[in-house]
């Protein structure tokens, strides 16, 4: 395991990277990706983003109105939910009977209780398919850094054997290895602990994987596979989720990540804490 000082330094670098333009080497990746490798491995450096509606719902879903009762009146079609074919293989997450109560609780409180609305860190795999880009920073023989535009989130992929994380955290602890030309990342110990909801309610938090209330617990093992396609501008992204506390069996998700190929591709700031204050603390704010 790397030391905490190393992790803190890398995290600090991640925040700085999130506000800077891509380096010339990264900006030119779209021109040289077919030939570009770092050591023995494909070059995954660049700014990436999905083109799907998985953040609204990872299961197949029709277009629909704003989930909030007053949403249509306040926002019209701007707050509507776009349709999606879903990214879950088989179309449905295999929750067990014990998981249904929490699932229904989430669905009864979508948006208001969604960690995204409160600007809490999104966890894995959700950080990958939010409607914000993220950047992969890869060197030769070192840990890999993933930096997310949403909330300046980041994570270090520890390129070492899977271990036992010391504590649960919002983004968990990620371990990576190469399987041929595929980067395999295993993330454990995602657990936000107690979280504050609107009007001050405190609940034991879980990691939401979309805005529809689908979730995983701190017992989950999330295994991601990043495979760069020929041409270098697309990654086949495959996720396996194992969580015996809420699932009858593991399930898988698949989607494509698209490289931003514009010359000025970069992450911008989306520091959302100020945007969530009225939701969380509106009962304390004098109008």
pLDDT at residue 35 in the model: 52
pLDDT at residue 233 in the model: 97
- The DSSP 8-state label assigned to residue 90 in this structure reads T
CA distance 33 to 261: 11
Q: How confident is the model at residue 178 (pLDDT cuts 50, 70, 90)?
A: very high
Q: How many Cβ atoms from other residues are within 10 Å of residue 59's Cβ? A: 18
Q: What is the pLDDT of residues 234-251, one digit of tens each?
A: 999 999 999 999 999 999
**pLDDT of 100 strictly over 50:** yes
pLDDT, greater one: 153 or 12: 153
Q: What percent of the chain has pLDDT over 70?
A: 87
Beta bridge partners of 41: 38
Q: How many Cβ atoms from other residues are within 10 Å of residue 164's Cβ? A: 8
- Mean per-residue pLDDT, 202-227: 97
State whether residue 134 is helix, strand or coil.
Answer: strand
In the chain the first and final C-alpha atoms are separated, in Å, by 50
Beta bridge partners of 157: 144, 174
State whether residue 185 is helix, strand or coil.
Answer: strand
Q: What is the pLDDT of residues 25-84, one digit of tens each?
A: 444 544 444 458 999 999 999 999 999 999 999 999 999 999 998 888 999 999 999 999
- The DSSP 8-state label assigned to residue 284 in this structure reads G
Rounded to a whole number of angstroms, the CA Rg of the chain reads 19
- Mean per-residue pLDDT, 156-180: 97
How many Å is the maximal CA-CA distance in the chain? 60
**pLDDT of 143 strictly over 80:** yes
Q: Please provide the average confidence, as pLDDT, over all residues in the chain.
A: 89
CA distance 108 to 11: 35
Beta bridge partners of 146: 136, 155
CA distance 283 to 258: 41
Q: How confident is the model at residue 141 (pLDDT cuts 50, 70, 90)?
A: confident
Q: CA angle, 209 as apex, 208 and 210 as ends, to 5°?
A: 95
- The DSSP 8-state label assigned to residue 229 in this structure reads P
pLDDT, greater one: 19 or 134: 134
- Mean per-residue pLDDT, 102-128: 96
Extract the tokens encoding 107.
Answer: 């669905």
**pLDDT of 183 strictly over 50:** yes
The stretches of the chain forming alpha helices (DSSP H) are 4-17, 24-27, 29-32, 71-75, 100-108, 126-129, 273-281
* Among 49, 79, 45, residue whose Cα is nearest residue 149: 49
pLDDT at residue 130 in the model: 98
Q: What is the pLDDT of residues 1-16, one digit of tens each?
A: 444 334 444 444 444 4
């Amino acid at each position: 395991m790397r030391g905490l000082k190393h992790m803190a330094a890398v995290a600090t670098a991640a925040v700085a990277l999130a506000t800077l333009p891509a380096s010339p080497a990264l900006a030119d990746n779209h021109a040289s990706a077919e030939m570009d490798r770092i050591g023995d491995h494909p070059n995954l450096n660049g700014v990436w983003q999905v083109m799907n509606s998985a953040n609204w719902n990872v299961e197949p879903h029709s277009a629909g109105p704003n989930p909030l009762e007053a949403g249509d009146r306040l926002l019209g079609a701007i707050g509507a939910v776009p349709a999606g074919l879903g990214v879950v293989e088989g179309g449905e997450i295999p929750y067990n009977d014990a998981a249904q109560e929490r699932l229904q609780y989430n669905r009864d409180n979508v948006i208001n209780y969604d960690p995204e609305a409160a600007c809490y860190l999104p966890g894995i795999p959700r950080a990958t398919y939010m409607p914000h880009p993220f950047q992969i920073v890869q060197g030769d023989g070192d840990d890999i850094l993933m930096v997310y535009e949403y909330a300046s989130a980041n994570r270090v992929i520890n390129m070492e054997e899977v271990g036992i994380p010391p504590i649960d955290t919002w983004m968990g602890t990620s371990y990576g290895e190469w399987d041929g030309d595929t980067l395999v990342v295993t993330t454990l110990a995602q657990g936000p602990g107690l979280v504050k909801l609107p009007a001050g309610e405190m609940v034991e938090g879980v990691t939401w994987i979309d805005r529809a209330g689908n979730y995983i617990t701190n017992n989950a093992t999330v295994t991601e596979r990043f495979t760069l396609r020929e041409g270098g501008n697309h990654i086949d992204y495959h996720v396996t989720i194992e969580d015996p506390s809420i699932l009858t069996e593991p399930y898988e998700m698949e989607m494509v990540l698209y490289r931003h190929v514009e010359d000025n591709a970069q992450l911008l700031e989306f520091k959302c804490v100020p945007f969530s204050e009225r939701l969380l603390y509106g009962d304390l704010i004098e109008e």
